[in-house]
Structure formats: structure tokens, C-alpha cells
Amino acid sequence: FRFTHALLREPVDSIVDGLRAVDTGAPDVALFRAQHAAYRDALEAAGLATTVLGPLQEFPDSVFVEDAALCLPEGAVVMRPGAPTRLGEAVMIEPALREAFDEVRHLPSLGDHGHGRIEGGDVLVTDREILVGRSARTNGAGIEALREVVRDWGYTVRELATPPEVLHFKTDCGLLDGETILTTRRLAAGGHLDGYRLIHVAEGEEAAANAVRVNDVVLLPAGYPRTAELLNQAGYRVVALPNSEAAKVDGGMSCLSLRY
């Protein structure tokens, strides 16, 4: 959770066509841009140098850069998004990864696993392992391919399940420090996070789980005061950011940037 840089991508007008599980109306593009700018400011205030990549009009969801890559201290890995409309985003992000990292890796095609799919939103890197939630976007073959590609960097990859009603694994959890995870009860219910210190979001505030720890602060979507209070009591410094527009297309604090 200690980072020096972040990559973001400018939101596009076509964000109104962004994928969403439940249609609660299209995002207001101007407000989306304002919230995105505030998010960038918060990353900078947390000490990160930010780079905002140019808009990709043909990819409505491209503002959610986290799904297209995985950034590790050793290098970056280009993901292979499971949403067909998002597959091309991985290709488009590679030049920026090459600028930022000495090493950029691709997921191998492994025999029968050639069609592996994996999105960064399903990947949580902790101090001891990489947790990946199988989901509608991430399959076993994609997880296997990630396991192969990071093995010689010394990482262990553990496959977990994402609850069926949840888009991404990290929709329902976020790293607070190397040993502590903020999570919903439904995600933790399987017991697979046992061994970590868990902080549960307040009842009815499930959307607060997609928080992201950046250096000394935790970026939390605004509007979840009881979870913010729980985090304050646990000693975390919370910065609450308005996220109403990204939320309409199932996006949150982690998806909007790649931190490294």
C-alpha cells in the first residue's frame, strides 16, 4: 500500500454506455469528470505522482484502468478482461506500462487454458500472497495463467470465490495494510480470509468495501459514515470521496487507478 505513482485514464462521454449490473440511470458525464479530478487530487495529496492517459472513446469503461493490468514492484502484467467489450483495453494500456516498468509480462496461454480471463478488479495483493476471486470476469484458466507468470517473482496465487451477485472480488473488499482487509460479510463468509485481520463494513454499507489504502490514507467512497467511523476508530485516516457517478457503472475507488 506504499506507492509513488498512479496511472489513470480520462473518462469518456461514452461512459454513459458503461457496463452495469443494474441500470440506475446513466452517469452524468460532467459530474463524473469532476469526481475523477477530485480522486486524482486525493492521490496526489497522498503523495503519488499521477499520469492521466488519453481518452479511449471506443471503450466506455476504459476509465477503470485497474482491470486492464496488475502492477507489482517487480513489473506489470497485462490482464485479459473477461468482458468482451473490455478486452481491447488491455492492449491499449500496454504502452503506458512499458513507460513505467522495466518489465511488462503477458499471461501465457497454457495448453487447454488458452482462453483464460482475468480482470485486475478480482486481484488483491497482500503482503503474503495474491488473492484472486473467480467471478463472471475471471476464470480458473486466467488465474492459472497469473500463477505461472508471477511464480518466479516469488508470489503465491490463491484462488477464492467472488459471491455471484458481486461484480469483482474487490468490489467487496480492500486492503487496509499488509495484514488487514476491509470486507463485506458475504465475501468473508467462506472463511477464506481467515488469518487476516478483518474489518467488516457496517451493515447496509456494502459499497464501502471497495476502499483503497494509499500511503497514509484510506480512500473511501463518500456516504458511508458508519464504516468511516469504524476505520477511524481502528486508527486509519479516511478520505471520503464522492463516487456517485462511477457507482452507476459499478466502479469504485480501486478501479479508477493503477497504483505502483
Residues annotated catalytic, as ranges: 168, 255
From residue 119 to residue 158, the character string flagging contacts with ligand CIR as x (rule: CB under 6 A) and all else as - is --x-------------------------------------
Listed ranges 1-9, 13-21, 103-111, 199-207: which one lies at the site for ligand CIR (CB under 6 A) = 13-21
The Cα 121–Cα 66 span in angstroms is 6
* Residue 11 engages ligand CIR in binding (rule: CB under 6 A): no
Which one, 107 or 255, has the nearer CB to ligand CIR?
255
The Cα 219–Cα 213 span in angstroms is 6
Picking from 61, 63, 71, the residue whose alpha carbon sits closest to that of residue 97 is: 71
Picking from 4, 7, 25, 8, the residue whose alpha carbon sits closest to that of residue 16 is: 25
Q: How far is the CB of 19 from ligand CIR (least distance, A)?
A: 3
The Cα 128–Cα 132 span in angstroms is 13
Residues 6+ apart with CB under 8 A from 229: none
Asked if 85 and 19 touch (Cβ cutoff 8 Å), the reply is yes
Cell output for 88: 481491447
Listed ranges 22-30, 176-184, 220-228, 249-257: which one lies at the site for ligand CIR (CB under 6 A) = 249-257
Q: How far is the CB of 63 from ligand CIR (least distance, A)?
A: 9
Which one, 110 or 136, has the nearer CB to ligand CIR?
136
Q: How far is the CB of 251 from ligand CIR (least distance, A)?
A: 4
From residue 48 to residue 77, the character string flagging contacts with ligand CIR as x (rule: CB under 6 A) and all else as - is -------------x--x-xx----------
Coil/strand/helix, residue 199: strand
Q: Which contiguous run of DSSP H or E holds residue 96?
A: helix 87-100
Residues 6+ apart with CB under 8 A from 196: 126, 179, 180, 181
Which one, 163 or 191, has the nearer CB to ligand CIR?
163
Residues 6+ apart with CB under 8 A from 22: none
Which one, 245 or 250, has the nearer CB to ligand CIR?
250
Positions that interact with ligand CIR (CB under 6 A): 18-20, 61, 64, 66-67, 83, 86, 121, 167-168, 170-171, 249-252, 254-255
